[in-house]
Structure 1
Amino acid sequence: MAVIGSIIKGLIHARDAVVSEPDAVEAQEKVLRDLLEKAKDTAFGQNYNFEEILGSENVKKAFAEKVPYFNYNKINEEWWSRMHAGEENVTWPGKPPYFALSSGTTGKSSKRIPVTDDMVEAIRQTGIKQVGSLANYELPSDFFTKEIMMLGSSTDLNKVEDHEEGEISGISASNIPFWFRNFYKPGVEISQIENWDERVLEIAKEAKNWDIGAMSGIPSWTELMIKKILEYHNAQNIHEIWPNLMVYTTGGVAFEPYEKAFEKLVAHPLVVIDTYLASEGFMAFQSRPETHSMKLVVDNGIYFEFVPFKPEYIAEDGSIKPEAPVVLLEDVEPEVDYVLLISTVSGAWRYLIGDTVKFTDVERHEIRITGRTKFFLNVVGSQLSVNKMNDAVKELEQQFDITIPEFTVAAVKNSEGDYIHKWYLGIEEGKAGEEELAEALDKELKAANKNYGVARSKALKGVEVVAVSPKVFTEWSATNKKKGGQVKMEKVMNEEKFAEWEEFVSSMNNKQ
């Protein structure tokens, strides 16, 4: 097996040496032209005259001028709903064989996002690019013979008329090539179990029979899986079960809030590799160990645009105002928050995916996800983004020697009718007083964000912290959406949602 590992590692290094990086600006223009060419005869392409855009002197500029911004609600109501009714050639040629179900992080109702054969292939190609980037990591040859635990949603997709529906991780796993199946765990049979708790229990039962070298999944659910395995086998850390585990590929959310919790589950550090795979496509991945930033995939079926993330450009529902300016890849600036727009081989056009990003390295086109447009807390001018919140919570962990893998916050009115920020912190280990935590959190945010400091001196009258078990967040997700898969906890809630949350927390406390 070591010989096989050496061969695979050698092939990866050889591929890395042969495959050159494309010119990003040229690659993006080619992607846009290919998208427009392929979709010009669709209903969408005819409505927005893609033929004319292709014939213009500046295709990128003409595209931005003629096609409006779309969020999910807008494109679904105007276009994708026609696919659900059975219409062909709506925003992409033919009919999509899959729809990715995504409840997002803001509600119970599932979004149904088209996934075409072209997108399945694009995801596969980006996966190959990511495997190729392992040449940049110091991994032993034996690593390439180990099995890979891919913790996603069920691969037992729902057949609906002429297509199948499921979460994107389930769709991707159901399209795993035959040659990879010997490496893939938990395997086809267990992956088809719909119930999360039953699936994880089966994983725990089989865990000692597998030689896992890498695992992938959203941090919160991966943490729960590991804990279940440890509980089942009465083990102290996951390396007692999987001694050759070296790599963890994470995605969907920032890993930093979970870092301290993961440290308690391993005997030695893992190589953590960030990815950016959403229901709408595989957009970026960490390609080198010197950074936690991710390299945009500029030549594989997704065209990127960027809107400066400023309050005057964002509507209350998190959508972009029509007059908001757009910035092209060649014009982005480092360390500036942008709202990400994508146009894809699944027939999404100038689509607001809901994430905000910043470029940490403009030349390498490396980004970090900084938050969600709907997770921007600005009720009284505090202008808090999720990355600022994550940083402040991480400081609390260090200061009080506690572990806080989950949190949520809302701007609510106190008994005097003044706005305060009320935080619920999921504290896993350690003790700290809620008033102390509130004071320290407030201090950190004032130091990190000038606008927050101004708001605290005026309309924002206080900060309150409630400490709860992280299990409360898991059960909330299970009750309001479901366990596992792509489900992520909302970090910021509006007052109505927060009232539901507080009622739920109260009911959980009453059960104990």
Structure 2
Amino acid sequence: MGLKASLSKIFAAYVNRQLNKQRKNAVALQQKTFLELIAQARDTEFGKAHNFSQIRTYEDFKRLVPVRDYEELRPYIERIVAGEANITWPGKPLYLTKTSGTTSGVKYIPLSKESMPGHIKAARNALLSYIHETGRAEFVDGKMIFLQGSPELAEKNGVPVGRLSGIVAHHVPGYLQKNRLPSYQVNCIEDWEQKVDAIVEETSQADMRLISGIPPWCQMYFDRLSAKHGGKKIKDIFPNFKLYVYGGVNYEPYRARIEESIGFAIDTIETYPASEGFIAFQDSQKERGLLLQVDLGMFYEFIPADEYFNDNPTRISLADVELDKNYALILNTNAGLWGYSIGDTIKFISKDPYKIIVSGRIKHYISAFGEHVIGEEVEHALMSVAKEEGLDVVEFTVAPQVTPEAGQLPYHEWFVEFGKEPADLKAFALKVDKALQKKNIYYFDLIEGNILQPLIVNSVKKDTFINYMRSQGKLGGQNKVPRLANDRKIADELKQYIN
């Protein structure tokens, strides 16, 4: 074991002690964060407009600061982007992260000098938690690859602008820079397919030990790497590769194929980074869930997902959350986001410590008939049946069919790219339908009441979703295919790819 690995074990033990303090004092730390945020932003334009000087309690805050999504906060964001200072947070932002919204087009999220360290600290602590629990630190001595956006930054009115992963690349600790791949030049390639090919060339002979990136794009990297090496498994190309770090999507639909490509069930660390803040990370290989980060300058609020679109939904802090309940996540941050609906839904699976799972997107659900089916439910239904039958699912999406052919009932239409297909697609679809009925009582009632017919699964051709994303100009990076929609936009495009 090298010097870096040995020192990392000592540092990991220290960080674990700090995390234990957070685990035991989460509610108190959230209250402390709340008061600090209000005090720091009291004299900003937002603070004055919302009477921050009168806020003493969370109840005061709820009364004075409404929940808003990006579109509703846009007037403030546009002033920040225009170069004005002291709008929602003191001074000007350190960076503006550029991200694509499903309904808002290009979005700009501010990163402040106070918030930026939280992104680095949480990512670091995720790795150190793994080292502390497992004692496995050898990956620190080898090469690490991060599949991410370009680190090249533009500028808007004096503020650097870029993708979050590209911005973070400028803040990787110096002691890891020599271990890090791909090179800066390769990372700057904008075209995703060219970039992946260049990464394959640059890394194929390296001592790769850790790989990080969202699953579908890591799979593309693995496929091309394997092809270059005559079909070898990744474990035979990178014999010291032992740790995969991911975030952004649920890993389960990709697990079987990625493990098949690698050649064994690799250790994984799930993270929950967003432009708005690094919210949670997996701190244990033995326990399920992501540890909520309660001491990084973010005060969290939660709205029961089934109330989110009500005129006056319930709005609570960490102290009042319940286990296994679906919540819309609301953020207040030290980058100047207030009552901000990030668009994600989460569930708490533990309160000692506070651990979450990401259950979906508040606007990515199907409720064309009142069923309110969410991402967690469709993923469970599909993957449980696929696992039972030994099938390989590459990617999928689901949409309602509200205008079926004459004589048919409406239904949910699924488009699934299989690695290994079912022998009987209709029988497979019926099993998935039964599994979904068990997860969602409203869907069960609609099937039982003959309002809907059982779902239909279409098997689509190899690389369908890659080709679709390419056609939309969204191949690579942090772009993901929405799993659920209430319209037919994606579904109608995918019709041409049905086997």
Secondary structure of the 1:118 match is coil
1:266 aligns with 262
2:425 aligns with 434
1:168 aligns with 164
Q: Distance in 1 between matches of 2:274 and 2:185?
A: 24
In the TM superposition, what are the counterparts of 1:395-406 in structure 2 within 5 Å?
A: 395-406=384-395
Q: Distance in 2 between matches of 1:477 and 1:40?
A: 43
The Cα of 1:127 is off from its aligned counterpart by 2.2
2:466·2:475 contact (CA, 8 Å) conserved in 1? yes
Structure 2 residue 298 is matched with structure 1 residue 296 = no
Secondary structure of the 2:193 match is helix
Q: Could you tell me which of 91, 95, 98 is aligned with 1:98?
A: 95
1:101·1:111 contact (CA, 8 Å) conserved in 2? yes
Change (3 A) 1:7 1:113: closer
TM-score with structure 2 setting the length: 0.94
1:215 aligns with 211
Q: In the TM superposition, what whole-angstrom CA distance separates every residue of 1:373-397 from its partner, at most 9, and x where no partner exists?
A: 1122122122211111111111221
1:342·1:353 contact (CA, 8 Å) conserved in 2? yes
| One-letter amino acid of the counterpart of residue 441, structure 1 | V
Secondary structure of the 2:426 match is helix
Secondary structure of the 1:103 match is strand
In the TM superposition, what are the counterparts of 1:10-409 in structure 2 within 5 Å?
A: 10-17=10-17, 20-22=20-22, 23-53=25-55, 56=56, 59-76=57-74, 78-104=75-101, 106=102, 109-310=105-306, 313-315=307-309, 321-409=310-398
The Cα of 1:418 is off from its aligned counterpart by 4.1
Q: In the TM superposition, what whole-angstrom CA distance separates every residue of 1:142-200 from its partner, at most 9, and x where no partner exists?
A: 33312211111111222334122222111111222333211211122211111111111
Change (3 A) 1:4 1:80: closer
Q: In the TM superposition, what whole-angstrom CA distance separates every residue of 1:310-346 from its partner, at most 9, and x where no partner exists?
A: 1xx233xxxxx44001121111111111111111112
Unaligned runs of 5+ in 1: 316-320
Deviates more, 1:405-414 or 1:469-478: 469-478
Secondary structure of the 1:451 match is helix
Unaligned runs of 5+ in 2: none
1:2·1:141 contact (CA, 8 Å) conserved in 2? no
1:318 aligns with none
| One-letter amino acid of the counterpart of residue 295, structure 1 | L
Q: Distance in 2 between matches of 1:441 and 1:301?
A: 42
> How many pairs were matched up?
494
| One-letter amino acid of the counterpart of residue 26, structure 2 | A
TM-score with structure 1 setting the length: 0.92
Q: Distance in 2 between matches of 1:267 and 1:401?
A: 16
Aligned-pair identity (%): 29
2:114·2:334 contact (CA, 8 Å) conserved in 1? yes
| One-letter amino acid of the counterpart of residue 276, structure 2 | E
Change (3 A) 1:175 1:14: closer
2:119·2:277 contact (CA, 8 Å) conserved in 1? yes
Structure 2 residue 421 is matched with structure 1 residue 421 = no
The Cα of 1:351 is off from its aligned counterpart by 0.8
Q: In the TM superposition, what whole-angstrom CA distance separates every residue of 1:110-146 from its partner, at most 9, and x where no partner exists?
A: 2222222222112112223223312443243433312
Secondary structure of the 1:169 match is helix
2:300·2:318 contact (CA, 8 Å) conserved in 1? yes
Q: Distance in 1 between matches of 2:136 and 2:83?
A: 51
Q: Distance in 2 between matches of 1:409 and 1:158?
A: 36
The Cα of 1:303 is off from its aligned counterpart by 0.7
| One-letter amino acid of the counterpart of residue 222, structure 1 | C
Deviates more, 1:63-72 or 1:416-425: 416-425
2:464 aligns with 472
Q: Distance in 1 between matches of 2:299 and 2:427?
A: 47
Q: Distance in 1 between matches of 2:371 and 2:250?
A: 22
1:100·1:112 contact (CA, 8 Å) conserved in 2? yes
The Cα of 1:284 is off from its aligned counterpart by 0.2
2:476 aligns with 484
Q: Could you tell me which of 480, 484, 492 is aligned with 1:502?
A: 492
